[in-house]
Structures are given as structure tokens and as C-alpha cells.
Structure 1
Amino acid sequence: MSTAADNSEITALLYRYARAVDSKDWELYRSVFTDDATIDYSSAGQAVGTRDEIVDWFAANFGVIPWSMHYITNIEVLKQDAETATVRAMFYNPMQLPGMAAQSSCGGYYHHELRRTPDGWRSSSLREEMVWFVGGRSHADA
């Protein structure tokens, strides 16, 4: 059963994830995940891999995005025991894409499998489920 302390720590973990991505702080991003974590951004047409592979991918590719601002809401602990938790949260992400003056945005769900570690809750698996995207480039612009 999820406790108020667990819920607070899990919420803080997801907020730290958003801050890490938006500030492009890849060491902070690493701190959200276990060493053996797997991360799947394929629903957005992006990378799938280990934590370190995704950090390398972000470092090489995310710097071209002038700004992004992830909002994480509706955090639900779907299942929890003493050592693991399954969490779903909604995201809304306005951003500016390179070469575009207008704002773009997307939204969907983050699906996390969390593990309690000596340093607190960490994500051992993240799967992004992109539901919508507006304001992106058309194929003619590419």
C-alpha cells in the first residue's frame, strides 16, 4: 500500500525528471533512474535504450531544442509493494522546435516501473506514450 511519504517521494522523482530534461542536466536525469534502467521514447519516434544510451542520445540531440517545459500531472500509483511500484502520470510539454518561431506542444503518459533503492525510489523502466503533438514540422518542411 502506498503511503503519503512514498507518494511525496514518487511525485518529487517525476518532477526531478522534468527539471532534468528541461534544463538539459543529464547527470540529474541519471539520478532519476536505476543503473540498469530501460527507457522507451519510441511512441514519439525517438530513442529506446539503457539509461546511459539515452543520456548519450539526449546530450547529442536535445541541445538543438531552444526550450521545453514539461508539466507532469495526475500521478497515479497503480500498484505498490515494499520494494516496487507501478506509476502512470500525464505530461504536457510545450516547446520550441529548432527553426520554428511558433510554439509546439505534445502530451501523453509516462509509464514508470519504480524500485526502492538505498537512495529512495528510482525508475527502472520508463515508457513514454505520446498521445498528441501539435505545431510540428510537416514533411514538406523537413
Structure 2
Amino acid sequence: MNSDFLTGTELLLAYEDIRMTKSRYCRFIDTKDWEALKDVFAPDAVADFSTEGNPIPVLEGRDTIVNVFQELVDPAVTVHQVHGADIELVSATEANVLSPMEDYVTFPESNPNKSFHGYGYYHETFVKLDGRWVIQHTSLKRLRLDIL
């Protein structure tokens, strides 16, 4: 990793800001705070969760991403956890981030969606816009998905 463009303190602050953005992403989904969730994404963000068997297509734009999340998981009880992200700063305003994740999503019996418990990795690009780190591109690669 080449981070010669940041001082030690700037590097640590960038790491912490990126981790906090991802933490808020999880919390806002789990607490159904859809307006706040918009703030973790760049306006032109892309979300690609289009793995086999997943009903979510590639999503373009912060509003689209949040609206689809809301439509899909608002009726569910969700628990999202991310752990020990690997962060590679490629410039003072861009970072590649790999975060191990676990999610537990349970829908009411009346909902046609299946409840599940999953494990995998978020592969993401974060960018710094207006002094804040936000998600520019996110994709989820699952290692395991248990249908409940």
C-alpha cells in the first residue's frame, strides 16, 4: 500500500472514518433509518449484489439503492455485522475496502421472501466527498447462505 500522500495521523483518521461509515451502513439498515442510510453513499453509487439466487439487480444511484433496500428489508428483522476491514488507500480520496460480514435476516411468515443467515465479504470502493468518506461501489460475495 502506498500512502505517502497522507501523514500518519491523516491515515489513521481516514481508516477510522471509513470504518465508521460502514458501521453506520449496518446500523441504519438494521434500525430502518432510510434517510440516514442515504448519507453513507455517494450520489452516483453502485451496489452489485447480483449473485445467483439473489433478487437484487445491480443498483445505480444512492436513492435507488436505498429505495430497493427499504422495499426488500423494511418488513424484516435484520442484523448486519462487519468485522476487521482491510483498507487500502489508493489516493487521499479513494480507498479499496474488504470487510468480512455476517447478516441475519428474518421476514414475517406472511412475507414471500425467505429468511436467511449469511456470511461473506463486502468488496467496496470508498471516496472522500466534501470531507466525508462514502461508499462509491459495493458488492457482496457470499461464502455461505443458510435459508432459515
TM-score (structure 1 length as normaliser): 0.84
* Cα displacement string for residues 51-73 of structure 1 (whole angstroms, at most 9, x for unaligned residues): 221222122221221x1111100
Where does residue 49 of structure 2 map in the other structure? 41
Where does residue 54 of structure 1 map in the other structure? 65
Q: Once the 2 structures are TM-superposed, how far is the Cα of residue 26 of structure 1 from its aligned partner?
A: 1.3
Q: Once the 2 structures are TM-superposed, how far is the Cα of residue 81 of structure 1 from its aligned partner?
A: 1.3
Q: Once the 2 structures are TM-superposed, how far is the Cα of residue 7 of structure 1 from its aligned partner?
A: 0.8
Where does residue 30 of structure 1 map in the other structure? 38
* Cα displacement string for residues 59-102 of structure 1 (whole angstroms, at most 9, x for unaligned residues): 2221221x1111100201134311111001011112323329xx
* Cα displacement string for residues 18-57 of structure 1 (whole angstroms, at most 9, x for unaligned residues): 0111111111111011101111111261232122212221
CA distance in 1, matches of 2:75, 2:87: 34
CA distance in 1, matches of 2:22, 2:141: 15
Pairing 1:76–2:86 present: yes
RMSD: 1.9
- Count of residues in correspondence between the two structures: 133
Percent of paired sites with the same residue: 23
Matched to 1:61, the amino acid is L
Where does residue 140 of structure 1 map in the other structure? none
CA distance in 2, matches of 1:59, 1:135: 21
User: Which runs of 5 or more residues in structure 2 are unaligned?
Assistant: none
CA distance in 2, matches of 1:85, 1:94: 27
Where does residue 105 of structure 2 map in the other structure? 95
Secondary structure of the 2:39 match is: helix
Secondary structure of the 2:23 match is: helix
Runs of 4 or more consecutive aligned structure 1 residues displaced over 6 Å after TM superposition: none
User: Which runs of 5 or more residues in structure 1 are unaligned?
Assistant: 137-142
Pairing 1:5–2:13 present: yes
Q: Verify the 8 A CA contact 1:112 1:126 in the aligned structure 2.
A: yes
Q: Which has the higher helix share?
A: 1
Secondary structure of the 2:92 match is: coil
